[in-house]
Every structure is written in structure tokens, then in C-alpha cells.
């Protein structure tokens, strides 16, 4: 077991900066540090060191064919790691970076080979979180970072989630409070003429299209053929009991709750504010508002994790329209779910 340092950083004052300095020094020594970003917590290490990067894969139990995103302090640094910044990438950088967007470009090979899992492309992101930015600046390194969860579990949106998964396996955790967006970045492949969304996320398709005009959604997001983002083929975000998505009105959802309860099952329901008064089950958790999907995104992973601490046998979840953030929310819910029940 490793001794995992734990820093609570409320702001980048003198004390906060001291914590950042300690964490940055550990990064320079090939250690792995978990830190908050505006999307989810990341598990960072020096992207130029294959030893440091292999420590990330080991701590997470992540398959080595799944590449990591490289995090940089500012968009001016992108040119150091890619062969060319395509015109479409330039537009996306100007519009959304720093922010919840990852762009895929052709790598110039300066990053350790295990970061990109042998691909000749590289995913780059400039996080928009004061702690992430201070850490990147202080370490003065490109930082490879996947989400800071054990592989297969929901991504961490608070430091407690990271602690539960990784305490004793990494050098440190910076607790910067709950993350803002709650879902991972949108991954856009900019190596093709028309950019392709490989993973829906914090920047919506509508926002991207305003900048790029046309845009293609990778077929695998709709569960068809082989995904281009290697990570999309793995089982993700899995809660410990089966999750069923229920597409229907309150009466239909109640009929499904009753059906499982008659079988003797304890039913947990992930429910919106709008529906909570209209259904009854042994354990209900409000996830957010149908009218404001940003609230659903923020609470999604925490709610999935919270059900693991209960004695429910099955979780039922409401579905959301695949518009705006609903696209990313439904992408994650469909990956977590074992069944879809239609009205
Ligand atoms: O919001 C986020 O993106 C968070 C925070 C920590 O930055 N990170 C994150 O990383 O979600 P991870 O490793 O959990 O997911 C990265 C996704 C995976 O699906 C991976 O396959 C894909 O991005 N990816 C990374 N590099 C790629 C590349 N060169 N080509 C295609 N897909 C790539
Ligand atoms: Mg992940």
C-alpha cells in the first residue's frame, strides 16, 4: 500500500499554492496525482515519461490499448505535440478551450508511446478549473490523465469518489470540491475533413455545430460498429446492481416498479424533480430537473455510486431527450444500463 497524501484546496491562496507545489513535485518524480477538473476528477502523471504513465494504467486497472488524454496549461502549447493544427481544430480551440472539449490531432511523437496506446494521434484538452490549471502551470509538464476512477466504475465527481477507488494506490489526491459539469469532455476527432464526435460530453453537439458547420457523430456512439475512441468499447460506469432505463410516463414507470416489487425485489429509482411526486418505490434519489439537464449531468455519477451503498436489488432510471447535454447523459446511461424498457 502506498501512502496517499490528501490536500483540501478551497482556493489558490498561499496554503493552496503550497499543496499545488507539493503535488507538482510528486508529478515531476513520476508519481500519480488525482486532481479536480471542471468535468470529472483526473488521474494525472507526466505524459513524457512512460514509467509515470504506466503507473496510471496500473492504479486504475485500465486496459493498455485505451489511450489517455494529454492535459496542457494553455492552448499555445498544443503545437509542441502535434504535427499540424488543422483549420477546424483552430476554430474549436478558439471557441472552447479552456473547457470541456478534447481534440484529436496527429501526434508528433513527443509524448510517451503508452499515452496514445500506439496510435499516431493524440487527444488534447485544456481544463478550465483553477486547481487543474495551477497544477499544470506549476508542474510545467504535459499531464496524461484519464478519469480518476477504477476502470469500469462511474467517473469521480468528488474527491471522496477518488479516495474510495484509489486510496493506497496513488501518491496524492487534491480535493477541490465537487466538479462543475459532472460528465467528461466531448472528444472530437479533427484529423478528418469533417470533424467526428467520438464521445459526447460537456460541449454539446449544437454548440460544436455553431462553430464547425457540419459534424459527424461516430456510429459506435449509437452502438453500431467498432468505436474510434478505444475507450468507448469498454463497459463503463457500471453500478453494482442492474440498471434498467424506463422510457415512459409516470404511470408506466410505476407499473415497472410494482412489477419488480411483486417479485420481491427492492427497487431504487433515479428520478427527476418533475416525476418524484408521481412515483413510489423503496428508495428514490432525485437526480435533477428534466427542465435543466445540467443538474442531471452534475448528479449522474454520484447518484449511481450512492445506490451502491443501499440494499436495492435493481435501479430504474428515467430517460432524457437526446438534445443538448441529454446526448451525453443518455450515452452514459445506455452504457451503464443492462436493459431498456419501452412503454
Ligand atoms: O473530461 C475528461 O475528458 C476527463 C478529465 C479528467 O479530463 N478525462 C477522461 O479521460 O474522461 P478518459 O481516459 O476516462 O477518457 C478518454 C477518452 C477515451 O474514450 C479514449 O479512448 C479517448 O478519450 N481517446 C484518448 N485519446 C484518443 C485518441 N488519440 N484517439 C481516439 N480516442 C482517444
Ligand atoms: Mg474514464
Which ligand sits nearest to residue 68's alpha carbon?
A: 1
pLDDT in tens, 37-68: 999 999 999 999 999 999 999 999 999 999 99
Specify the pTM. Answer: 0.95
Residue 302 main-chain phi, psi, to 5 deg: -65, -40
Rounded CA gap, 208 and 202, in Å?
11
> Would you put residue 264 in left (φ > 0), alpha (ψ -120 to 50) or beta?
left
Please state, for a pLDDT cut of 70, what percent of the chain lies above it. Answer: 94
pLDDT at 304: 93
- Name residues whose C-beta falls within 8 Å of residue 22's C-beta, 6 or more positions apart in sequence: 5, 7, 172
pLDDT in tens, 115-136: 999 999 999 999 999 999 999 9
Name which residue sits closest to atom 18 of ligand 1, judged by CA: 231
Pick the more confident residue, 225 or 332.
Answer: 332
Which ligand sits nearest to residue 107's alpha carbon?
A: 1
- Name residues whose C-beta falls within 8 Å of residue 309's C-beta, 6 or more positions apart in sequence: none
25 pLDDT more than 60: yes
Rounded CA gap, 252 and 278, in Å?
11
Which ligand sits nearest to residue 114's alpha carbon?
A: 1
pLDDT at 72: 98
- Give, in order, the Cα–Cα distances in Å from 81 to each of 37, 64, 147, 197, 219: 21, 21, 21, 21, 28
Q: Are 243 and 268 in contact (CB under 8 A)?
A: no
**For the packed helices 87-96 and 205-212, what is the interaxial angle rounded to 10 degrees?**
130
245 pLDDT more than 80: yes
pLDDT at 234: 59
pLDDT in tens, 270-328: 999 999 999 999 899 999 999 999 999 999 999 999 998 899 999 999 999 999 999 99
80 pLDDT more than 50: yes
CA of 107 to the centre of ligand 1 (A): 15
Cis peptide bond prior to 286, omega within 30° of 0: no
Name which residue sits closest to atom 19 of ligand 1, judged by CA: 231
pLDDT at 340: 86
225 pLDDT more than 60: no
- Name residues whose C-beta falls within 8 Å of residue 53's C-beta, 6 or more positions apart in sequence: 45, 46, 47, 68, 112, 114, 115, 144
Average pLDDT over residues 191-198: 93
Mean pLDDT, the chain, as a whole number?
94
Q: How far is CA 327 from its chain centroid? A: 14
71 pLDDT more than 80: yes
pLDDT at 121: 97
pLDDT in tens, 178-194: 999 999 999 999 999 89
Please state, for a pLDDT cut of 90, what percent of the chain lies above it. Answer: 87
Task: Using most ligand atoms within 8 A of CB, pick from 32, 62, 102 the residue to mutate for ligand 1.
Answer: 102
Rounded CA gap, 178 and 292, in Å?
19
In which band, very low, low, confident or very high, does the pLDDT at 224 lie, cut at 50, 70 and 90?
very low
Domains for the chain: give ranges and CATH numbers: 5-217 (3.90.870.10), 243-342 (3.40.50.11030)
CA of 155 to the centre of ligand 2 (A): 6
CA of 128 to the centre of ligand 2 (A): 18
Amino acid at each position: 500500500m502506498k501512502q496517499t497524501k490528501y490536500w483540501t484546496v478551497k482556493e489558490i491562496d498561499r496554503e493552496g499554492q503550497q499543496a499545488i507545489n507539493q503535488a507538482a513535485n510528486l508529478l515531476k518524480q513520476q508519481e500519480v496525482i488525482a486532481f479536480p477538473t471542471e468535468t470529472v476528477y483526473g488521474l494525472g502523471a507526466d505524459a513524457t515519461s512512460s514509467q509515470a504513465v504506466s503507473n496510471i494504467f496500473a492504479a486504475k486497472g485500465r486496459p493498455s490499448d485505451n489511450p489517455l488524454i494529454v492535459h496542457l496549461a494553455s492552448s499555445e502549447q498544443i503545437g509542441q505535440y502535434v504535427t499540424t493544427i488543422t483549420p477546424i481544430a483552430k476554430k474549436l480551440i478558439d471557441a472552447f478551450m479552456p473547457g470541456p472539449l478534447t481534440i484529436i490531432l496527429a501526434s508528433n511523437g513527443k509524448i510517451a508511446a503508452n499515452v496514445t496506446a500506439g496510435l499516431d494521434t493524440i487527444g488534447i484538452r485544456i481544463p478550465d478549473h483553477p486547481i487543474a490549471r495551477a497544477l499544470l502551470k506549476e508542474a510545467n509538464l504535459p499531464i496524461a490523465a484519464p478519469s480518476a476512477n477504477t476502470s469500469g466504475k462511474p467517473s469521480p465527481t468528488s474527491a471522496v469518489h477518488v479516495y474510495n477507488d484509489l486510496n493506497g494506490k496513488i501518491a496524492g489526491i487534491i480535493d477541490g470540491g465537487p466538479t462543475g459539469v459532472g460528465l467528461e469532455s466531448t472528444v472530437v476527432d479533427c484529423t478528418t475533413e469533417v470533424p467526428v464526435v467520438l464521445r459526447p460530453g460537456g460541449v454539446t453537439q449544437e454548440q460544436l455545430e455553431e462553430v464547425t458547420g457540419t459534424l459527424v457523430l461516430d456510429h459506435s456512439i449509437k452502438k453500431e460498429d467498432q468505436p474510434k475512441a478505444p475507450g468507448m468499447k469498454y463497459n463503463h460506469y457500471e453500478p453494482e446492481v442492474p440498471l434498467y432505463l424506463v422510457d415512459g410516463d409516470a404511470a408506466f414507470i410505476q407499473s415497472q416498479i410494482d412489477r419488480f416489487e411483486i417479485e420481491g425485489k427492492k427497487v431504487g429509482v433515479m428520478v427527476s424533480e418533475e416525476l418524484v411526486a408521481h412515483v413510489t418505490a423503496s428508495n428514490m434519489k432525485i437526480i435533477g430537473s428534466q427542465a435543466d439537464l445540467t443538474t442531471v449531468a452534475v448528479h449522474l455519477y454520484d447518484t449511481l455510486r450512492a445506490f451502491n451503498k443501499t440494499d436495492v436489488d435493481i435501479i430504474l432510471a428515467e430517460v432524457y431527450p437526446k438534445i443538448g447535454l441529454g446526448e451525453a447523459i443518455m450515452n452514459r446511461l445506455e452504457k451503464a444500463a443492462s436493459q431498456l424498457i419501452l412503454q
